[in-house]
């Protein structure tokens, strides 16, 4: 029997950028992803199409799956011949029970691979501006689990030196026992005025840092209603936060931005500015169910003077079918190529084609005017007999076709790809919206908005009432406003890059 393989992957402390390249590769290769609650959902976007997702997390003491059940799933999926990615927060072997999971795999004779992750032990203090060691302040650090019954575990504190030597102490999972920890440390000789910090949701938009002396931190945490996940840092290094704090100063820190389409490079500058991206494409793209119209257009491709590609998906699906039918780029000789937007133009370059026309404006009337002007420039002054091929989606509006026909120019618009509504991870999105964890939502088409409303159903209006809405252009904004929602951000040009810049500018003005 083919027993498959299990990758035990440390996903880092929360920021999606703090996963290793090898960890991403394991996600991409796997047929099944078994993931925990604290995992940044953006990491799941690296999974291949058709991958199975198994949620195994625990939250606030509630276990979605017991450890025995998790072990059983890993074994079962591997014995089905699947590659399994066990995606765990931080590092699997730092208080992560990864060792237990690997022992079971060993006993079952299942191949496994350990991919370490960046632990919250070092990353969370770093994002709070606290180095765990510093040549002039602390020459060592100790990591202790804080979720045991410490009143009965005196031995945990025997290493604490009453001399108050330069050492940083880091307690993970400490909230429930915070007062016990601090009282016992003082009893064992730690100076009550020793600096300390409690950091909740480190490296994430919700990151909250409280600093106080060791004698005061428990009360302060209680007043601010600090709940898990949080870590406690004790030592003189905490005093460096005043100078070294950097993460919370980023313009978009505190924002989690909903991306309702596939993630592209243009969005990544939002992360550079401190935002976290929640990627939830409300549209997925598939080949058409019936190729008749598209095949007919491709077979007579030489009859067209122009091909207008409305999107990167149009480029991809058109050329996949084009080449399946035995055509190649020589068949496009003499045809002028128009790309709607820079992303579409970039997709064409992947096929060795430089677009002849890239309109500055993307509404139907402006595009039709530009195309007509180009026809007059490249060809005779007569529109008669001119034909345009417009490979479109199944839900694309025919405004462009109608505008061109006003000029007497014939447009064939075969369905080249179709759109469907994905629902994977919809529950997590709904929870994030319900809990106010998403602050900005972006939409690049009316359908991206309408599909989200359909997915959220009757709760949509309540979930989105506090969310800032960004629309890529006037057409999308109108669809959102017609549904009774307010659009807060509209860029001057209808591109993702300009929408991203408008979001950053909006945040900087706040």
* CA dist list (Å): 172 to 147, 179, 271: 8, 14, 27
Q: Is 452 in contact with 438 (CB distance < 8 Å)?
A: no
Superfamily of domain 122-248: Tetrapyrrole methylase, C-terminal domain (3.30.950.10)
Residues 6 or more apart whose Cβ sits within 8 Å of residue 281: 259, 260, 261, 262, 422
pLDDT tens for each residue of 172-216: 999 999 998 898 888 878 899 999 999 999 999 999 999 999 999
Locus of tokens 């990627």: 279
CATH topology of domain 256-283+421-509: Rossmann fold (3.40.50)
Q: Is the pLDDT of residue 34 over 80?
A: yes
Catalytic residue list contains 36: yes
Q: Is the pLDDT of residue 406 over 50?
A: yes
Q: Starting at the edge strand that comes first in sequence, how are the strands of the sheet with 410-412 ordered?
A: 336-339, 306-309, 387-389, 410-412
pLDDT tens for each residue of 295-349: 999 999 999 988 999 889 999 999 999 999 999 999 999 898 998 888 889 999 9
Beta strands in 24-100 (DSSP E): 32-35, 52-55, 58-59, 62-63, 83-88
3-state secondary structure of 35: strand
**Six-digit token string for 407:** 């000029």
Q: Which of 15, 31, 36, 412 is catalytic?
A: 36
As a whole number, mean pLDDT of residues 153-159 equals 56
**Six-digit token string for 4:** 């498959």
Pinpoint the alpha helices (H) of 132-288: 178-187, 217-223, 241-244, 268-272
Task: Indicate the pLDDT class of residue 43, thresholds 50, 70 and 90.
Answer: very high
Q: Is the pLDDT of residue 23 over 50?
A: yes
pLDDT tens for each residue of 57-113: 765 555 678 889 999 999 999 999 999 999 999 999 998 889 999 999 999 999 999
Q: Which of 58, 79, 208, 421 is catalytic?
A: 58
As a whole number, mean pLDDT of residues 408-419 equals 90
From-to residues of CATH 3.30.950.10 in the chain:
122-248
Task: Indicate the pLDDT class of residue 152, thresholds 50, 70 and 90.
Answer: low
Please tell me the predicted confidence (pLDDT) of residue 362: 59
Phi–psi pair at 438, nearest 5 degrees: -110, 125
* Burial degree of 107 (CB within 10 A; 0-12, 13-18, 19+): exposed
Please tell me the predicted confidence (pLDDT) of residue 462: 94
Model's pTM, two decimal places? 0.81
Q: Which of 31, 77, 82, 173 is catalytic?
A: 173
Q: How far apart are CA 38 and CA 124, in angstroms?
A: 14
Catalytic residue list contains 173: yes
Please tell me the predicted confidence (pLDDT) of residue 163: 43
Following DSSP, what letter does each residue of 219-230 receive, concatenated? HHHHHTT--SSE
Beta strands at 195-200 and 392-393: parallel, antiparallel or unpaired: unpaired
Q: Is the pLDDT of residue 153 over 90?
A: no
From-to residues of CATH 3.40.50.10090 in the chain:
256-283+421-509, 293-419
Q: How far apart are CA 28 and CA 35, in angstroms?
A: 14
Q: How far apart are CA 63 and CA 273, in angstroms?
A: 34
Considering the segment(s) 293-419 as one domain, its CATH architecture is: 3-Layer(aba) Sandwich (3.40)
From-to residues of CATH 3.40.1010.10 in the chain:
5-118
* Burial degree of 49 (CB within 10 A; 0-12, 13-18, 19+): exposed
pLDDT tens for each residue of 471-503: 999 989 999 999 999 999 999 988 899 999 999
Task: Indicate the pLDDT class of residue 372, thresholds 50, 70 and 90.
Answer: confident
Task: Indicate the pLDDT class of residue 162, thresholds 50, 70 and 90.
Answer: very low
User: Under CATH, to which class is 5-118 assigned?
Assistant: alpha beta
């Amino acid at each position: 029997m083919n027993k498959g393989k299990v990758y035990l992957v440390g996903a880092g402390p929360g920021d999606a950028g703090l996963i290793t390249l090898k960890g991403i590769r394991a996600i991409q290769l796997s047929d099944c992803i078994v993931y925990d609650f604290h995992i940044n959902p953006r990491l799941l976007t690296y999974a291949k199409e058709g991958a199975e997702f198994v949620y195994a997390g625990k939250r606030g003491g509630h276990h979605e799956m017991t450890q025995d059940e998790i072990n059983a799933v890993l074994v079962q999926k591997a014995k089905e011949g699947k590659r399994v990615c066990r995606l765990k927060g931080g590092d699997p072997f730092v208080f992560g029970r990864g060792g237990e999971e690997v022992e079971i795999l060993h006993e079952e004779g299942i191949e496994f691979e350990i991919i370490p992750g960046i632990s919250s032990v070092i990353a969370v203090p770093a994002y709070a501006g606290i180095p765990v060691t510093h040549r002039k302040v602390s020459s060592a650090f100790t990591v202790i689990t804080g979720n045991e019954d410490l009143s009965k575990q005196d031995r945990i504190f025997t290493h604490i030196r009453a001399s108050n030597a330069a050492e940083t102490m880091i307690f993970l999972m400490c909230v429930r026992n915070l007062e016990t920890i601090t009282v016992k440390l003082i009893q064992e000789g730690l100076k009550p005025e020793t600096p300390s910090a409690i950091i909740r949701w480190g490296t994430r938009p919700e990151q909250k840092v409280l600093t106080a002396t060791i004698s005061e931190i428990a009360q302060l945490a209680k007043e601010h209603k600090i709940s898990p996940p949080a870590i406690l840092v004790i030592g003189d290094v905490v005093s460096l936060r005043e100078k070294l704090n950097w993460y919370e100063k980023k313009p978009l820190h505190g924002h989690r931005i909903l991306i309702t389409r596939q993630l592209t490079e243009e969005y990544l500058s939002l992360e550079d500015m401190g935002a976290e991206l929640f990627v939830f494409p409300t549209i997925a793209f598939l080949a058409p169910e019936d190729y008749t119209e598209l095949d007919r257009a491709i077979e007579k491709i030489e009859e067209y003077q122009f091909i207008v590609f409305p999107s990167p998906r149009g480029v991809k699906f058109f050329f996949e079918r084009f080449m399946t039918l035995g055509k190649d780029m020589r068949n496009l000789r003499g045809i002028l190529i128009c790309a709607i937007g820079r992303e579409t133009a970039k997709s064409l370059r992947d096929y060795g084609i430089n677009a002849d026309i890239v309109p500055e404006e993307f509404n139907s009337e402006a595009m039709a005017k530009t195309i007509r002007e180009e026809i007059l420039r490249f060809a005779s002054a007569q529109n008669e007999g001119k034909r345009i091929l417009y490979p479109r989606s199944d839900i694309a509006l025919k405004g462009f076709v109608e505008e061109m026909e006003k000029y007497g120019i014939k447009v064939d618009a075969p369905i080249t790809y179709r759109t469907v509504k994905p629902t994977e991870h919809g529950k997590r999105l709904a929870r994030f919206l319900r809990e106010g964890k998403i602050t900005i939502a972006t939409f690049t088409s009316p359908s991206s908005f309408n599909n989200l409303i359909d997915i959220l159903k009757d709760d949509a209006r309540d979930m989105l009432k506090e969310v800032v809405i960004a629309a890529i252009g006037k057409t999308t904004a109108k669809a959102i406003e017609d549904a009774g929602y307010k659009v807060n951000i509209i860029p001057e040009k209808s591109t993702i890059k300009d929408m991203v810049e408008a979001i950053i500018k909006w945040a900087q003005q706040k």
